Structure 1
Amino acid sequence: MKYHFFQSKYWVIVWSIALFFFACRDPKQNAKENVKEGELKEPQEENAHTTVIKTIPGGVDTPAGMVWIPGAMFDQGAVAQDQMAMGHEKPSFQVAVDGFFMDETEVTNAKFEKFVKETGYLTVAEREIDWEEMKKQLPEGTPKPHDSILQPGSLTFKKSKSSVPNLYDFSQWWQWTIGASWKHPAGPNSSIKGKENHPVVHIAYEDALAYCEWAGRRLPTEAEWELAARGNRKDKIFFWGDDQDLLGNQANTWEGEFPVMNTQQDGFERRAPVKSYPPNDFGLYDMAGNVWEWTGDWYNTNYYNEVSSKKQLLKNPKGAAKPFNERDRYAKEKVMKGGSFLCSESYCASYRVSARMATSLDSSLEHLGFRTVASVDMVKAEKN
């Protein structure tokens, strides 16, 4: 299995014309975040009797399309029996998370289209590329690509014609496609017509935040996402248990030789309509496979080691205070969870609950979407 990180779209554009392909830089954003200095947020020291919100408070109704996730204490990270766990999923550490509401499915094309129609929002993948901004993120002296290349687009998947010996080189199955966007997921000649109930993709972090603001929601923390995905099986590898043989009936993933041939034993080659597979214990669909989902946490290679070494219970953790990737010290990435239709046992096996990967803020891809959450206070405020 390999670590799975995605580079900034600016680097991919340049790489795609055989100039450079390094790590991502932070693009201009409409959505700004306040991040304090320091590698990690200090854990909150709690005693063994820490209380969490487990049941829906009186007078609070579950928002339409969402389900209640009971608060709980659990070990975040890889479980002991998971032989596929990667280094950045461990060691596990104890957290306490208050109950909250979560979308029962990933945000669909239909829901995102409603947001766009009401707001006129233009996603990152659809915006014109500013060379003056782009060259700030490239080595000095990098020649400007031809204007025909500097066009709005996104990353799309392409099958390999033969076996791929080096699974670290994801340029073998990802390509920069001009005209690809949430409306054209496979490129300019593709459409979402008839796929209104599919998860929306090609969503950059900024796009997900914009939708959340419109909907009165927010992105989940990594701890919230993991609690929700585990359901009542907090010591299991998958949301359904430990039996990987059930994978084809439980999730939309890659079956066969990646990235050459997908046997489609699970019924789909790429994205599946939401609710195509059984829900987990809490009534959530597609918490494994289909498309990756954004969280609000910075990706920091050292996070799990740092917090676990303090041996303290964290209450409602929000992840690292700042981004850090040991493979690229300049990278600014967020944690994404859940895996996608491209996940296979030989590549990343990220349909496991503890699986986590890093994605740059401006990345938009054919297998990356999101779902939203709402705290009790947010729902109360909405009601008032």
Structure 2
Amino acid sequence: MTSPHHTTSNIKFSHALTGPYLPTPGKAPGWPFQEMGRWTIDVGAAADEWLAGLREWRREHRLRIGLDDSLYRRPDLAWSQANFVHALTMVEDLHFYDPDIGRYTVDRYLDDLQARFGGVDSVLLWYIYPNIGVDDRGQFDLVHDLPGGLDGLKGVVADFHRRGVKVFLPTMPWDHGTREGDAPDWERMADIVAAVGADGINGDTYSGVPRAFHVACEERGRPVVLQPESTAQAGDHILSWNLQSWTKRVPNESIPTVVKLKWVEPRHIVQIENRWSRERWSDLQHAFFNGIGYVAWENVFGFVNRLTDRDAATLRRVAMIQRRFAPLLVTDDWVPYDRTLQAGIFASRFPGAGRTLWALINRQEYGVAGEQIAVDHIEGAAYYDLWNGQAIEPRIGDGRAFFDTELEAHGFAALLQFERGVDPDGLDAFLSEMRRFATPLGDHSATWSPSPQALVPIPSTKAYGAAPDGMISIPAGAFDFAVHGIVIEGYAAEGVDVQYPWEPSPRRFHRHRMQIEAFAIDRLPVTNAEFKTFLDASGYAPTDTRNFLRHWTYGSPAPGSERMPVVWVGIEDARAYAAWAGKRLPREWEWQLAAQGYDGRRYPWGDDWRSDAAPPPSLERTMPRLVDVDAYPAGASPFGVMAMTGHVWQWTDEYRDRHVRAAVVRGGSPYQPQSSHWYFPQGYALDEHGKYLLMAPSKDRSGGIGFRCAVDL
């Protein structure tokens, strides 16, 4: 049964059993005959044999992989079997953390999700990628740099728990290019989990999270649910200790697919993750059909991919039914492809003690009305149309009950059969709640649009008649500003990267001919000595002091580092220095013009890389020692501005939308961590910029980011 074209009787399997999805019984079992190329099969007659064969394969497969279900039977981990709506939560999200008041706002974050699509059952708090690699802080450093450190994170977890939401934390096996730790990942991860009271661990890029993570957490008295990003290559044996997993986008074919791991162990809740999708009806149908979960991921590493109104309304109703009848969805008695009556309508049957649920989906692009499914009638049974929240009286004939309803294009339905004498257990209240949201899905907008961004204003300085000391005049002129974002994620989709004021939406590639007024820019980046002068003269002390000038000792730069660029200063610290000096941070296009001149060159010194024009790249796990800002005079720009490329990233502009703050950083640094392509990419070329997500100074400050200033002329 491992061939993609294996035939049992007259069933043709369309997928290999070694893949993530199970073979389908040709076409929809409800259709009496289906064309398969140049031949015809009687699907209705074959369905029972197909299901029996699939169940026998499951029994044998469990023996082959040595499936141990002891963790699924533990009461303290049983919550995982009702964890249907899961969200990856960027800690930089403005709904989650308010930078203006310096406080976590978990209630605000959850209230927004509740209002739009009914809330979530769990969150994955994401604080590592995509900023990791801008300096040598590793994944276990970054969690300590969150506002409040582990104590602050512990409070966040408690806030989620107060709202009934479980919390996962991430771990990343590819992070072996930043500074080395003193213990294995699972030991360090277990320490964090125990300290903050988290409920699960998500293994980014893991194809099955190793059992060692579970053991380490158990040893600390904090059992967790392990959740790999995928299980495609690990082997099904990992089901014994990975109680959940993600699966990538499901095939968007006319026949829904059965998710293999869910079939092998129905208590294993798979969450469908399709982060870039802009219409999610097919993913939500597969979640409903399989009785599995969905990753409601909208802030995708700083790209806002918000659910459309229709998809949000769909997710709300799907999740309401799944949560209410979760025990029915996790048993071996599940019957996918139960017989239906109309073409394109598919049903899964989830039977339980005294009640049975049918989840129906319409794979057609048009609505289908009328009788959809006929089920075995039980004398005295009651029937309910759950999708619309009402009791119904189906037509009874030949010992069968016929369910009549209309399924919209790409729509949903749900039938519940209650046997006589079964405790309804608050069913009336549930039906009433479903009626509140029973608006046809077609009445909700399915239009997706990118989240508009706004450029944060930079106040003008006084108009200087000439460049102040240490600055270089840049004359006014028409400049071809051409640049592209080097963020790893998002392809070239609309909404990725930033939105300049002259653009209608964010995008990765930018070109604009613009008139730039005369300005002056620092010839060199601000140094440690200059920043020390500022502190002494102004008395500046940030409210959030974590990581502020962490490379200094006893409030002063280390001897010999006075002429090196100052780092470990956030964008707020840089702005404070600039205001004290009567200056401002440069606009990005000003920075680029000062580095590039008017001829569009690739590097400040020309179109070809020169090893004598910038510090040599470092491939070590720790950051290299920075060099003095004037150490490479051969790297000067056409205007004589120095240390623009390869010395240190430099703060410029900030952009905001409804969920994201991000700074554009320019110039790159010598630090190039190895072992993975997921690290913050370097941007040496003058037509490249980095997008650095902002949260709070404690986390934003970096050993790889400095700044220089500008003034208006």
Q: Report the TM-score when normalising by structure 2.
A: 0.31
Residues 99, 343 of structure 1: CA spacing in aligned structure 2 closer, same or farther, 3 A cutoff?
farther
Q: Is residue 2:559 matched to residue 1:193?
A: yes
1:298 is matched with: 654
| Deviation digits for residues 80-100 of structure 1 (CA, Å, limit 9, x no counterpart) | xx9x9x954513222221120
Deviation at 1:69, TM superposition (A): 1.1
Q: Which has the higher contact order (CA 8 A, sep 6+)?
A: 1
| Deviation digits for residues 300-356 of structure 1 (CA, Å, limit 9, x no counterpart) | xxxxxxxxxxxxxxxxxxxxxxx14xxxx7331221111112158976231111222
Do the aligned partners of 1:203 and 1:369 also contact (CA within 8 Å) in 2? yes
Do the aligned partners of 1:254 and 1:343 also contact (CA within 8 Å) in 2? yes
Residues 282, 343 of structure 1: CA spacing in aligned structure 2 closer, same or farther, 3 A cutoff?
farther
Q: Is residue 2:482 matched to residue 1:77?
A: yes
SS at match of 1:287: coil
Q: Is residue 2:574 matched to residue 1:220?
A: no
Q: Is residue 2:703 matched to residue 1:369?
A: no
Give the counterpart letter for 1:39 in structure 2. Answer: Q
SS at match of 2:483: coil
Q: Is residue 2:453 matched to residue 1:39?
A: yes
1:351 is matched with: 684
1:266 is matched with: none
Give the counterpart letter for 2:538 in structure 1. Answer: T
Alignment of 1:1-384 (within 5 A): 4=131, 9-10=145-146, 13-14=149-150, 17=192, 39-40=453-454, 60-78=465-483, 88=497, 89-123=508-542, 126=545, 153-154=546-547, 181-182=548-549, 184-185=550-551, 191-234=557-600, 236-244=601-609, 246=610, 248-256=611-619, 259-260=620-621, 269-277=624-632, 278=634, 279-295=636-652, 297-299=653-655, 323-324=656-657, 330-343=659-672, 348-356=681-689, 357-360=691-694, 362=697, 363-376=700-713
Give the counterpart letter for 2:688 in structure 1. Answer: A
Do the aligned partners of 2:476 and 2:515 also contact (CA within 8 Å) in 1? yes
Do the aligned partners of 1:336 and 1:359 also contact (CA within 8 Å) in 2? no
Deviation at 1:4, TM superposition (A): 4.9
Residues 331, 270 of structure 1: CA spacing in aligned structure 2 closer, same or farther, 3 A cutoff?
farther
Residues 330, 110 of structure 1: CA spacing in aligned structure 2 closer, same or farther, 3 A cutoff?
same
What fraction of aligned residue pairs are identical, expressed as a percent?
28
Task: Pick the structure with more strand per residue.
Answer: 2
Give the counterpart letter for 1:289 in structure 2. Answer: G
Which whole-Å CA distance do the structure 2 matches of 1:368 and 1:275 have between them? 17
Deviation at 1:261, TM superposition (A): 8.3
Give the counterpart letter for 2:685 in structure 1. Answer: R
Which whole-Å CA distance do the structure 1 matches of 2:149 and 2:583 have between them? 32
Give the counterpart letter for 2:628 in structure 1. Answer: P
Give the counterpart letter for 1:217 in structure 2. Answer: K
Do the aligned partners of 1:70 and 1:100 also contact (CA within 8 Å) in 2? yes
Q: Report the TM-score when normalising by structure 1.
A: 0.56
Do the aligned partners of 1:65 and 1:103 also contact (CA within 8 Å) in 2? yes
Deviation at 1:191, TM superposition (A): 4.8
Residues 116, 242 of structure 1: CA spacing in aligned structure 2 closer, same or farther, 3 A cutoff?
same
1:158 is matched with: none
CA RMSD of aligned residues (A): 3.8
SS at match of 2:479: strand
Deviation at 1:372, TM superposition (A): 0.5
Task: Pick the structure with more helix per residue.
Answer: 2
- Unmatched segments (≥5 aa) in structure 1: 25-36, 42-56, 127-152, 155-180, 263-268, 300-322, 377-384
SS at match of 1:335: strand
- Unmatched segments (≥5 aa) in structure 2: 1-128, 135-141, 154-188, 203-298, 303-450, 456-462, 498-507
Give the counterpart letter for 1:102 in structure 2. Answer: I
Residues 38, 72 of structure 1: CA spacing in aligned structure 2 closer, same or farther, 3 A cutoff?
same
1:51 is matched with: none
Residues 252, 110 of structure 1: CA spacing in aligned structure 2 closer, same or farther, 3 A cutoff?
same
Deviation at 1:192, TM superposition (A): 2.2
Which whole-Å CA distance do the structure 2 matches of 1:186 and 1:342 have between them? 19
| Matched residues, number | 251
Q: Which has the larger radius of gyration?
A: 2
Do the aligned partners of 1:254 and 1:342 also contact (CA within 8 Å) in 2? yes
